[in-house]
Amino acid sequence: MSEDGRNILVGVLALIALGLLSSVTFGGKSIGAAASGGYTVQASFNRIDGLNVGDEVRMSGIKIGEVSRMRLGPNFEALVDLKIVNPIGLPTDTSAAIHTDGLFGSKHIVLVPGADETELKAGGRIDLTQDSVVVTDLLDLIIGEAKSNASKRETELNKAKAAAAPADMPASKDGDPVTAPGGLLAPLLGDPPAIKGDD
């Protein structure tokens, strides 16, 4: 291929790349404009460990929005703003729960619609909430429960052993329950010889 042909090919490829870049840029702006609509509702939680701005808001497994803001409320509760971009109405008795993808995955908020016919308005508040579950606290709870059960089993086993132990047997002065008078071998050994004292 001649040098002119190579230059033409490079120019065509550059134009194609520029067109693709422009389409992606304008397409992203269109998507962002579409996502900028919707409305915002607020949810109140006691703790939101692991939740971040931008995390998904889901309903029935489908993303309908995202977390847009988090802050501390006047009563020390965690207030979370949810940007709902899906054109869907939420009943006023909708509940919100913080879930985790897997055991150590990212957090997201799951909304469960209620049965109320009245819908939440923009700026409305969701009070039926379930806090975030901290994995370390859950593991500590499981370990503590296992230790408690093991201690109970050990106590019951010791009680069973004590109940099955034989009654105390007579012992000699040296504490031997076998050779002492009345001990286990007393019938075989006979009575010990009498020791006469000095006249």
Any idea where the domains of the chain sit in the sequence?
A: 39-137
pLDDT digits (tens, 9 = 90+) for 55-112: 999 999 999 999 999 999 999 999 999 999 988 889 999 999 999 887 778 899 999 9
| pLDDT tens digit sequence for 47-56 | 998 899 999 9
Confidence of residue 160 (pLDDT cuts 50, 70, 90): confident
Mean pLDDT of 132-153: 74
pLDDT at position 9 over 70: no
Q: Which pLDDT score, from 0 to 100, does residue 69 have?
A: 95
pLDDT (average), residues 32-51: 79
**How many angstroms separate the CA atoms of 126 and 92, rounded?**
7
Residue 25 C-beta-side C-alpha neighbours within 13 Å = 6
Q: Is the pTM of this model over 0.95?
A: no
CB environment 155-165: b (16+ within 10 A), e (fewer): eeeeeeeeeee
d(CA 187, CA 59): 85
Q: Which residue has the higher pLDDT, 72 or 166?
A: 72
| pLDDT, the chain, mean | 76
